[in-house]
Amino acid sequence: MQKKFLGLLGLLFTLSSVIYAQDYEDELRYRKWRVTLFPPVSTNGVNTLGYSAKYSINLLGGYHGALDGYEIGALFNYTKFYSYGFQLAGFANATSGDMAGVNIAGIANFSKDDMSGVQISGLGNISQDMLEGIQVTAGVNYSDRGSSGLQAAGIANISKRDIEGLQAAGLFNYTGYDISGLQAAALFNYAGDNVEGLQATMGFNYAEDGISGLQAAGVANISGGYIEGLLASGFMNYSKDGASGLLASGGFNISKEIEGLSAAGIGNFAKSMQGLQFAGINVAEEAIGLQIGIINIAKEFQGVPVGFLSIYGNGRKNIDVRFSDAGFTEFGITTGTYRVYNSFLFGYNTLLDREVYRLGLAIGLEKNIQDSFENFESTTLFVNQEFSMHQHFEGDWSGNKNRIYSYKYLLGNRFGNGMSIYGGPSLNMQVTRVDEANDYTWYSLWSPTRKGRQYRFWVGLTAGIRLFHQKNLPLLDDEFDNDWGWGRDW
């Protein structure tokens, strides 16, 4: 029924425009009151386009020249030149010119030119030019030119040009050009050009060009250009060009370039990364900064890696075999940079009469001997300072807390570039709920117990051999003078 009425209304507007082809706008006569049954049956006679009125009552519908006041129509209110003031219609308010003021319609408010003010409709607020002000509809706010102000739509806010201001839609906000301001939509915010401001959606924010500001998406923030600002998504932040600022995703951050802080539940992937990356997997061709992940991979890396494996084309790939005073012999895979390394360690206690295994992680800093002892000058002697954590397993792989935390100060010497030996003291702390674990150590300086956990502190020794390619490193002072501390030998 509503579709048939709107079609009939559109046909009426078309026929009326043909019948009244003369432009009366400059010759409009003013009457305070007019009453219309149905055009052209009105108190203005058949020449309804020649008049403007302050008060207009349309018993069924009215088609007039203009409105400069207040108008009520049972079905529709339609003006050829403009509508300024308050309008109320059961189905539609429409004008071939501007519409401004307060317009309330059961179906739609429509204007050929600008629409501004407060519009409330059941189906849509539609303008072939600008749409601005406060628009509320259960359906769609639509503009051929641009949309600004406060728009609330049950379905969508749509503009062929810019959208700015505050938009809230049950499904989506769409524009052929820029989106700026605050947009909230259940499904997505889409822009044919840039997106800036605050966008929140359960689905995704998408821009053909750049995204900037604060974007929160249940699924993804996607840009065909550059992303910057604070971006949070449940699955992915994606940029074709670059991304900078704070990027947080439950899944992936993917960009040609990533700069700033990028945190992802699964991975950060980029051709170039700079800053702090935190993810299960960090992958880049070139990376500078701090990488924290289960696996870090880069062709070229300068900075500090933290992970199980940090594999870099310009980094170390070593095998370590070491023995500690706790009776453990360990096999380690050591990766990272030549300055900062990560070790994944597996060990077995050869001195106990039962099976005790350990898995561990370590992060270490390697220095030239002269960095610690100024009077020593050597290109082969080095110092390693290392922090490690080991979880121990008694016969089976149970998850009972049974850990040793260690700080090691190791002195070493390289024999060529394929092998080195090292050894030195370690400061150790054991935290365990396993009663038998106290025999991992030969003695304890202090052995408190608290809330079912046993603690032991002691000073021990570690010695080891490191195999495969290694480098003689320059002094730290010289290296930090080069490129603000991100020298090639890292």
Does 218 share its domain with 329?
A: no
What is the predicted pLDDT for the residue at 69? 86
Asked if residue 339 is part of any domain, the answer here is yes
What is the predicted pLDDT for the residue at 362? 97
Does 192 share its domain with 340?
A: no
pLDDT, tens only, 163-183: 889 999 999 999 989 888 999
Of 181, 208, 223, which residue is a domain's last? 223
- Place 480 in a pLDDT band, splitting at 50, 70 and 90: low
Q: Compute the distance between CA of residue 464 and CA of residue 262 in angstroms, rounded to an integer.
A: 36
Of 201, 223, 245, which residue is a domain's last? 223
List the one residue out of 436, 431, 428 whose CA is nearest residue 452: 431
Residue 489 reports pLDDT greater than 70? no
| Residue 27: strand, helix, or coil | helix
Does 56 share its domain with 195?
A: yes
What is the predicted pLDDT for the residue at 18? 41
Does 343 share its domain with 215?
A: no
Residue 140 reports pLDDT greater than 70? yes
Stronger pLDDT, 482 or 133, i.e. the higher one: 133
Q: Compute the distance between CA of residue 332 and CA of residue 367 in angstroms, rounded to an integer.
A: 20
**Model pTM score:** 0.80
Residue 127 reports pLDDT greater than 70? yes
Does 343 share its domain with 198?
A: no
Are the C-beta atoms of residues 109 and 99 closer than 8 Å to each other? Answer: yes
Mean per-residue pLDDT, 113-142? 91
Stronger pLDDT, 237 or 481, i.e. the higher one: 237
| Residue 108: strand, helix, or coil | strand
Stronger pLDDT, 73 or 390, i.e. the higher one: 390
Go through the chain and tell me how many residues it has. Answer: 490
Stronger pLDDT, 150 or 35, i.e. the higher one: 150
- In this structure, of 39-48, 134-143, 186-195, the range with the lowest mean pLDDT score is 39-48
Strands (E), 172-251: 172-175, 179-185, 188-191, 195-201, 204-207, 211-217, 220-223, 226-233, 236-249
pLDDT, tens only, 216-268: 999 999 999 999 999 999 999 999 999 999 999 999 999 999 999 999 999 99
According to DSSP, residue 257 is labeled E
What is the predicted pLDDT for the residue at 34? 79
Does 34 share its domain with 144?
A: yes
Does 201 share its domain with 86?
A: yes
Stronger pLDDT, 62 or 419, i.e. the higher one: 419
Asked if residue 350 is part of any domain, the answer here is yes
Q: Compute the distance between CA of residue 347 and CA of residue 355 in angstroms, rounded to an integer.
A: 11
Look up residue 481 and give its two tokens. Answer: 């003078």
Does 89 share its domain with 198?
A: yes
Asked if residue 236 is part of any domain, the answer here is no
pLDDT, tens only, 341-373: 999 999 999 989 899 999 999 999 999 999 999
Asked if residue 473 is part of any domain, the answer here is yes
Asked if residue 190 is part of any domain, the answer here is yes
What is the predicted pLDDT for the residue at 23? 53
Q: Number of structural domains, the chain?
A: 2
What is the predicted pLDDT for the residue at 12? 47
Asked if residue 275 is part of any domain, the answer here is no
Asked if residue 259 is part of any domain, the answer here is no
Does 204 share its domain with 100?
A: yes
Does 210 share its domain with 346?
A: no
pLDDT, tens only, 434-450: 988 888 888 999 999 99
What is the predicted pLDDT for the residue at 15? 42
Does 18 share its domain with 164?
A: yes
Asked if residue 310 is part of any domain, the answer here is no
What CATH number did the domain enclosing 371 receive?
2.40.160.20
pLDDT, tens only, 17-61: 444 444 545 677 777 777 877 787 777 767 777 777 788 888 888
Residue 59: which domain range?
2-223
Q: How far is CA 184 from CA 154, 191, 192, 205, in A?
A: 12, 14, 17, 10
Of 182, 197, 223, which residue is a domain's last? 223
Does 348 share its domain with 214?
A: no
Residue 118 reports pLDDT greater than 60? yes
What is the predicted pLDDT for the residue at 454? 94
Query: What percentage of the chain has pLDDT greater than the value 70?
Result: 92
Mean per-residue pLDDT, 321-347? 95
Residue 133 reports pLDDT greater than 60? yes
